[in-house]
Structure 1
Amino acid sequence: MPADRLHVTLHYLGAFAGVPADLVGRARTAASKIALPPVEIVLDRIESFSGRRAKRPLVLAGDVTEPLSTLEQSLGAALDNAGIPLKRHPHFTPHVTLLYDERRIARQPVAPVKWTAREFALVRSLLGQSRYEVLARWPLTS
């Protein structure tokens, strides 16, 4: 996976052939209301996520911490309040997808990868092109 595609998804807004301007506008307004400090992220295991595709995502994953949960929940609530239907998984697991493969890798520990997220972004995934476009960014400040 190229480095410019590595990310941790907080919320998935859906798949669209084009960029729905009204959705982007409401998402920007909702995200601009988030005022939280930077969040440390620690990913310390590797595993394959199950899925319906023949190729499963192999991910670097970690446990959700209280600060990260607060960010995910606050953003989710702001998006809900903006009338944006979210595609929520019942259990948020911070992870970075490394590759897709037919083999399934059982969960195993790895040396922790740590960083401090000082911003979050609204990102458009260009369907079928394996590219992302950052539409907006917001700082996480103390």
Structure 2
Amino acid sequence: MSRLRLFVAVLPPDSAVAELRRAVAPLHTLPGAGGMRWTGTDAWHFTLAFLGVVDEGLLPDLHERLGRAAHRTERFPLRIHRGGRFDGHVLWAGAAGGLDTLRLLAERADAAARRAGVAMDEHRRYTPHLTLARSRSETDLHPYVEALDTFESTPWEVGELALVRSNLPVAGVPGERPRYEVVASWPLGH
């Protein structure tokens, strides 16, 4: 039986990705930017629950439970909002709008995975973020966060929950990044 590396996410629309791409482009010229691993725009998403490696046999129950979680959650407004950091290692863009509903959806996705038998990490308070870059060493990310301080994407309505497969990069291939593929999605509120 095969095993898949999965996470549950909200995917921003192409228009919001394009706006963020324009805001992030100048950050590549800041001191230390060359030492950071920047995520590709095709990888930008708001992770709701990281499932890790999941046995394929759990997928039917997981799909059913995620579908129920999506159906019980109403559509909600969201926009990409400002920037932030986790220590000196991760630069991210935040979210604004229907954050209470986003957090509720994250809790429901986590609960759905647990009930389907997925061994989940310890539950932590959900911090909505879209990862822009990572640094292996401690980096002063304050200038990056400041540069994103006024960023606001055009709001959109979140209409679906996505189950995404993460295909890890091939070891030893320079510049290789994880590739993400939506394996299933469910409309919200139906």
Superposition TM-score tier, normalisation by shorter sequence: 0.7 to 0.9
Q: Report the counterpart of residue 42 of structure 1 in structure 2.
A: 79
C-alpha change, 1:93 and 1:71, in structure 2 (3 Å) is: same
2:155 aligned with 1:117:
no
Q: Report the counterpart of residue 76 of structure 1 in structure 2.
A: 110
Structure 1: 4+ residue segments shifted above 3 A: none
Q: Report the counterpart of residue 35 of structure 2 in structure 1.
A: none
Q: Residue 6 of structure 1 is aligned with which of 34, 44, 54?
A: 44
The percent of aligned pairs where both chains have the same amino acid is 30
More helix by share: 2
Question: Which structure has the larger Rg?
Answer: 2
2:137 aligned with 1:97:
no
C-alpha change, 1:86 and 1:39, in structure 2 (3 Å) is: farther
Q: Is the contact between residue 162 and residue 185 of structure 2 (CA under 8 Å) also seen in structure 1?
A: yes
What root-mean-square deviation, in Å, do the aligned CA atoms of Structure 1 and Structure 2 show?
2.4
TM-score by length of 1: 0.79
- Quote how far apart the aligned CAs of 1:46 are: 1.2
Equivalenced residues, count: 135
Q: Counterparts in 2 of 1:48-67, with a 5 A limit?
A: 48-50=85-87, 56-62=89-95, 65-67=99-101
Q: Is the contact between residue 51 and residue 113 of structure 2 (CA under 8 Å) also seen in structure 1?
A: no
C-alpha change, 1:13 and 1:81, in structure 2 (3 Å) is: same
TM-score by length of 2: 0.61
Query: Unaligned regions of 5+ residues in structure 2, if any?
Result: 1-38, 170-176
